[in-house]
Amino acid sequence: MKHRIPVTVAALAAATILMTAPAFAQGGAGVKGSANAAWKAPRGADGHADLSGTWTNATSVPVERPKELGAKEFYTPEEMAANAKKAADRAAAQAAQAEGGDLAVHYDTNQFSLTGASQKRAPSMRTSLITGPEGRVPPLLPAAQKRQAARPRSTFDSYETRPLAERCYFWPNEGPPMMPVGYNSNLQIIQGPGFVAIEQEMIHDVRIIPTDGRPHLPSNIRQWFGDARGHWEGDTLVVETTNFTDRNPFRGSSDQMKVVEKFTRSSPDSVVYEFTVTDPATWEKSWSAEIQMSKIDGGLYEYACHEGNYGMANILSGARADEAAAAAKK
Amino acid sequence: MRCKMPRYRLSGVLSCVVAVASCASLALIPATAQAPYKAPRTPDGKANLNGIWQALNTANWDIVGHAANFGSLPQMGAQGATPPGIGVIEGDSLPYTPAAAAKQKENYKNRLALDPEVKCYLPGVPRATYQDHPFQIVQSPDTIMFIYEYAGGVRSIPMKNPGPAPAPSWMGWSWGKWDGDTLVVDATGFNDNTWFDRAGNFHSEALHVTERYTPRSADTLMYEATIEDPKTFTRPWKMSMPLYRHVEKNAQIMEFKCVEFVEELMYGHLRKGAPQQKGKQ
């Protein structure tokens, strides 16, 4: 069951993801720092630009640019308006369809912020989160393709062949890079002397980022979230993460991946989050993306994924019951 | 803590650890009895609690004083045996109601099957403070984050009252305030799934923990927790212990994402071809 819900939710979220209403014409949102060039970020207690607060990285922008848009990196205001209308129509149709459907059995989608309208999204005129003329993840190198093909396929044979998110190891929103997902896109940033901490509501993991110039962990120590080191470049927090495992590939990456993230407060209400991924064992060149984070009210709630993972036992015992039933038929 | 270190020179890391540990076990002196210590300040003028901290006692085995004892798994030998400790609670025993006292005994008997720590579940409060793992405090003026190594547990503590807990949770619903240099954290909104230790000491959903974190030297904090739970105990009670700063160079909280280590235990019997083991969770 548990594995099915997120899939359904993701489908709904993907379908409604373009449903954003804000006025996009308010001057080049989606271009870093363009909202107000003279604006100076407030200082945190540590004297650096203040990134602290509760944020959402929910977005209506797809990760990769639709192929038909070619090298077009930004929509015009007119195109944005047309897209918003199309998305609203689609969402209304979707909502009508969802009524009494699969998802409605499990969730009140409005209550849990699963509908586009109930989730705050930063306005952006970007055609894709990935920046540059391609706007897409570069093709995997042959060795990386081979590596991907050799990974065990998802089956119901054992917990070992279930996806890592379903096993409550981590979710893709936790990163790095911290990718927007269909829902629960909430995170909190705290700045203390020498450290920045980023808590992701889903599934409660915290990235603790030292900014005191210390070296990375020895290369033989590998972690799910890698090993993060930060420093300030002016008002931008720059975080470099290495020491990944080879067990949680990000879009086909290897354990050689390096992620460089930049956090820049761009207005009272927003942080621009940029990242660059480099992995010579996977891609011919680095690629980058930019995501707007919006300030939201309140703190985070506890997301006790593993503790509530009744789904895992149910999925596996369901599969065993199916097998027993099939064997009985023979 | 006025703990006398041995006069003679102990050599080696182990003897050093032993000396500190025996020091730690004597430290049930309330924070108020300490000579006043003025903690360094954060830029906003509050006591600076930032750092990586860890308890150095056997409270996670049993918060009540106890002699060394057999562990749950004979295969573990001396590694799995319960190490002794004089306890971290005020007094010699916990003021359980008769029914709760009986339940604790049952818990102890079945601790390998029932202790939520075995399954990598979030440990609750105050247990997260004295597990065999460090935790880090990242302190900002309006929020103080407690990040625990074990299971990636976290409490993001606002410095103003957010109102009552919206729902019960594993790590509870906390908010903080300053009492001089002491950070006072009020924690409620717990579920009844967590324990205080591996000895089956437990609480109900009515648990209310009042924690006090008081700087007592450059590298130690005094931790005190007052436990109120009228469904389980006949009166409030207290525990206290020093917390030690990790002073080693480049100390950092590392990943202890323990789900991986418990899946075979929890789901192994459900794999294809496994002999079905009735009653196993």
Q: Are A266 and A32 in contact (CB under 8 A)?
A: yes
pLDDT surpasses 70 at A222? yes
Q: What is the Cα–Cα distance from A191 to A45, expressed in whole angstroms?
A: 8
CB pairs under 8 A between A and B: 131
A303 Ramachandran zone, left/alpha/beta (phi>0; psi -120 to 50)? beta
B255 neighbourhood in chain A, CB within 8 Å: 223-225
CA distance A125 to chain B (A): 33
**All residues at 6 or more sequence positions from A250 whose CB lies less than 8 Å from its CB, including other chains:** A172, A177, A257, A277
pTM for this structure? Answer: 0.87
B120 neighbourhood in chain A, CB within 8 Å: 306
What is the SS3 string spanning A189-213? EEEECCEEEEEECCCCCEEEEECCC
CA distance B253 to chain A (A): 8
pLDDT surpasses 50 at A272? yes
Given A208, A214, A320, which is nearest B253 (Cβ)?
A: A208
Residue to test with chain B: of A2, A112, A167, A190, most B Cβ within 10 A: A190
Considering only A34-43, B78-87, B120-129, which range has the smallest mean pLDDT?
A34-43
For residue A278, what pLDDT is reported?
98
Distance, C-alpha A197 to centroid of its chain: 17
pLDDT in tens, B167-183: 999 999 999 999 999 99
Which tokens belong to B256?
């202890």
CA distance A157 to chain B (A): 5
Considering only A27-36, A98-107, A228-237, B139-148, which range has the smallest mean pLDDT?
A27-36
Q: Are A275 and A260 in contact (CB under 8 A)?
A: yes
pLDDT in tens, B3-36: 343 344 444 444 444 444 444 444 455 555 556 8
Given B120, B140, B267, which is nearest A52 (Cβ)?
A: B140
Given B140, B254, B259, which is nearest A45 (Cβ)?
A: B140
For the purposes of burial, counting CB atoms within 10 Å of the CB of B208, is it exposed (0-12), middle (13-18) or buried (19 or more)?
A: middle
| Strand ranges (E), chain A | 53-56, 186-192, 195-200, 206-210, 227-233, 236-242, 258-267, 270-278, 287-295
Structural domains of chain A sorted by starting position, each given as residue range(s) with its CATH number in brackets: 36-73+130-295 (2.40.128.20)
Asked casually if ipTM beats, i.e. exceeds, 0.90, the reply is: no
B153 neighbourhood in chain A, CB within 8 Å: 204
For A17, phi then psi, to 5°, come to: -65, -20
pLDDT more than 70, % of chain A: 82
